[in-house]
């Protein structure tokens, strides 16, 4: 009888340990994200740093920085299938060649609604002159294959997803592996409602609560089984 009970008891204990460890792992992840959030908040609370190094940009995700360079007007991209405030439209992505460098960074200048006119783009012209911009650095996630649409001439090119390698080939520019989200107060932009960094802290805490609740339920079941076996 003891042997028959020891097997499920061992399984319950092992599963209980696993659930509890998963819960604490999610709490650790939440603490890591919270630390990153605090670090970014402190970094963005002072003077906005002027970045001259292309390599340094890759280490500045979610940070607000200043860049000096020149926009490239004739090699812009239209990032289609975007929704802002339940309105469909597109983002305008403009190459920005950093001063003293051969690399370029794509600047997301904001959102423009289609307004039922998918065959006609808004005026996205920008003057090619030395300028300084303030941006938030973001690392794009490739979701779909790049797809170009026939929009008058070669540029602006309509894309369905951010594929910087393919876009570099199309534009004949060496794009840095990040995108700059143009500051809402900066000129030469459109609608900009960028999401602040949250790091999914609440999500990790929610997962932790779920694992702990499952462990609690399993522990209750185990105790009931143990009591029932003891009576027998």
Query: pLDDT tens digits, residue range 4-20?
Result: 556 677 888 888 899 99
Look at residues 70, 87, 88, 89 and name the one whose alpha carbon lies nearest to residue 78: 89
d(C-alpha 190, C-alpha 186), whole Å:
10
Radius of gyration of the chain (CA): 26
Choice between 229 and 146, residue whose per-residue pLDDT is larger: 229
Cα–Cα dist 100/160, whole Å: 31
Three-state DSSP class for residue 222: helix
Q: Is the pTM of this model over 0.75?
A: no
Please report, for residues 45, 53, 204, 213, the alpha-carbon distance to residue 64 in angstroms, rounded to integers and kept in the order given: 10, 15, 25, 39
DSSP SS3 for 98: strand
CA–CA separation, 149 and 85 (whole Å): 25
- Residues 108-148: pLDDT tens digits? 999 999 987 777 888 999 999 999 999 988 888 665 444 44
Strands (E), the chain: 49-50, 64-71, 77-84, 87-98, 103-113, 130-138, 157-159, 174-182
pLDDT tens digits for range 169-215:
999 999 998 999 999 988 899 999 887 666 678 889 999 999 999 99
Q: Which two tokens stand for residue 153?
A: 């001439």
More confident: 89 or 48: 89
Q: Which residue do the tokens 């904001």 mark?
A: 110
To which residue do tokens 């460098």 refer? 101
């Amino acid at each position: 009888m003891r042997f028959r009970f020891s097997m499920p008891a061992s399984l319950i204990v092992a599963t209980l340990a696993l659930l509890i460890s998963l819960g604490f792992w999610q709490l650790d992840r939440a603490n890591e994200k919270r630390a990153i959030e605090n670090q970014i908040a402190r970094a963005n609370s002072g003077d906005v740093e002027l970045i001259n190094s292309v390599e340094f940009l890759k280490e500045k995700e979610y940070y607000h920085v200043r860049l000096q360079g020149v926009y490239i007007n004739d090699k812009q991209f239209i990032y289609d299938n975007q929704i802002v405030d339940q309105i469909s439209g597109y983002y305008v992505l403009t190459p920005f060649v950093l001063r003293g460098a051969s690399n370029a960074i794509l600047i997301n200048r904001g959102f423009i609604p289609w307004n039922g006119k998918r065959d006609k783009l808004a005026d996205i012209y920008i003057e090619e002159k030395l300028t300084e911009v303030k941006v938030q650095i973001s690392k794009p996630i490739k979701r779909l294959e790049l797809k170009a649409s026939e929009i008058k001439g070669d540029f602006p090119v309509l894309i369905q997803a951010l594929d910087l390698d393919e876009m570099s080939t199309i534009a004949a520019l060496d794009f840095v592996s990040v995108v700059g989200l143009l500051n809402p107060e900066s000129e030469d932009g459109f609608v900009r409602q960028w999401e602040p960094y949250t790091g999914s802290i609440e999500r990790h805490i929610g997962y932790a609560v779920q694992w702990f609740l499952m462990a609690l339920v399993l522990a209750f079941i185990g105790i009931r089984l143990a009591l029932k076996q003891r009576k027998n």
